[in-house]
Amino acid sequence: MWVGEQSGGMTDRELAETAADGLSVLANPLRLRILLALSETRQPDWEQRGMSYSDLRAAVGVEDGGRFNYHLDELRGRFVGNEDGHYWLSAAGWRIVDELYAGTFSGSHERREGELSYTCDADDEPLTATVEHGLIEVTCPTHGTVFDMTLPFSLLDDSDRDLDDLYEYAFRQAQQYVESVCSDVCPHCGGRFDGPDVEHAEVKQREYLLVGFRCRRCAVAFRLPIEQIVVFRPPVVGFFDDYGIDATSPALYDRSGEWTMDVHEHEDGFVVAFECGGERLTLDLDRSLATRSPSREPIDDDDEAKLTEERNG
Ligand SMILES: [Zn+2]
Ligand SMILES: [Zn+2]
């Protein structure tokens, strides 16, 4: 039984104590400068062995050797590896550097708000994006919030990127998130999921077949429309690509006038069907939401009759 088990078999209290210990090691600007200096060795070189002691010390620029050694020593093991007088970042060290560059611990940015060039797929109303506190939120005047996602602070600060850019990036992030969940790996903690629980529900005046997942290890739980689970699967991406629609971009929903979708539940699973350009793609999903038999066929009446004839021999 997984329920109640925490990261690495630790309780919340143990996890917090170990992490607080690690964070206290990092709570020093000189130590963070050492990590940033070591990140300079992120080179396309398979044989790179990190930095020599003298290069590292020169890069950080500390006069006092004793002080430098003390702080480097505190980082060794958990955040910095070393051997034969060379130093490199451990996996945990890399994570910390990534978060430093992402502005996670230092980021703050101006609130940004504006109209996107995308419209709501249900009513064609212009969508608005608000970016605040590391979060992008996309809203429709009729339907309220239709999308939200956290983003690196450094990305939100980049004035070269307009709100459309941020939304497109966030959309793909969400896609990776869903793919991770569908492979039963929690994107936050690596835990397995309970579910999927599928239920019919009305949300913001629209009928959905909602799929719910709950991580057994961390606190993550969410519900998504079933079509969002399958829309990035290869048969669907290929189907839309044949009609010049990029299913991996928000343009998919913006051009909803060109395609329709139907979902329904049956005895041992679900059917999601997309129609576009006179063709229908049908995905039969089992209860675990695995794709059983994708099929494509023309929806033209004549063709339909022909197909039925063929099937009947
Ligand atoms: Zn709307
Ligand atoms: Zn988790």
Query: What is the Å distance from ligand 1's center to 205 Cα?
Result: 10
| 156 within a domain of the structure (yes/no) | yes
> Which ligand is closest in space to the CA of residue 147?
1
The pLDDT tens digits of the residues spanning 199-240 come to 999 887 778 899 999 999 888 888 888 988 899 899 999 999
Residues 244 and 207 grouped into a single domain: no
Residues 293 and 306 grouped into a single domain: yes
Among candidate residues 184, 189, 183, the one with its CA nearest the CA of residue 7: 189
Read off the pTM.
0.81
> Which ligand is closest in space to the CA of residue 140?
1
Among candidate residues 272, 312, 263, 277, the one with its CA nearest the CA of residue 295: 272
With tokens 């890069």, the residue in question is: 59
| 304 within a domain of the structure (yes/no) | yes
Residues 261 and 305 grouped into a single domain: yes
pLDDT the model gives residue 89 = 92
Q: What beta strand segments (E) does 133-237 contain?
A: 135-140, 144-150, 193-203, 206-215, 221-225
Beta-carbon contacts of residue 287 (< 8 Å; ≥ 6 apart): 268, 269
Residues 246 and 280 grouped into a single domain: yes
pLDDT the model gives residue 3 = 39
Q: Total structural domains in the chain?
A: 4
Q: How is residue 56 written in tokens?
A: 């590292």
pLDDT the model gives residue 190 = 92
Q: What is the CATH number of the domain that holds 143?
A: 2.20.25
| 2 within a domain of the structure (yes/no) | no
pLDDT the model gives residue 300 = 74
Low-confidence ranges of the chain (pLDDT < 70): 1-9, 42-48, 255-257, 301-313
pLDDT the model gives residue 257 = 66
DSSP-assigned beta bridge partners for residue 261 = 274
Query: What is the Å distance from ligand 1's center to 147 Cα?
Result: 11
Q: In angstroms, rounded to a whole number, what is the distance separating the alpha carbons of residues 191 and 220?
A: 10
Positive or negative CA dihedral for 194, 16, 135, 250? negative
Residues 81 and 116 grouped into a single domain: no
The pLDDT tens digits of the residues spanning 32-61 come to 999 999 998 766 566 667 899 999 999 999
106-127 as b/e: b if 16+ CB within 10 A: ebebeebeeebebbbbeeeeeb
Query: What is the Å distance from ligand 1's center to 143 Cα?
Result: 5
Domain containing 38 equals 7-102
Q: How is residue 138 written in tokens?
A: 């996309």
Residues 243 and 288 grouped into a single domain: yes
Residues 60 and 119 grouped into a single domain: no
> Which ligand is closest in space to the CA of residue 145?
1
| 1 within a domain of the structure (yes/no) | no
Q: In angstroms, rounded to a whole number, what is the distance separating the alpha carbons of residues 136 and 152?
A: 10
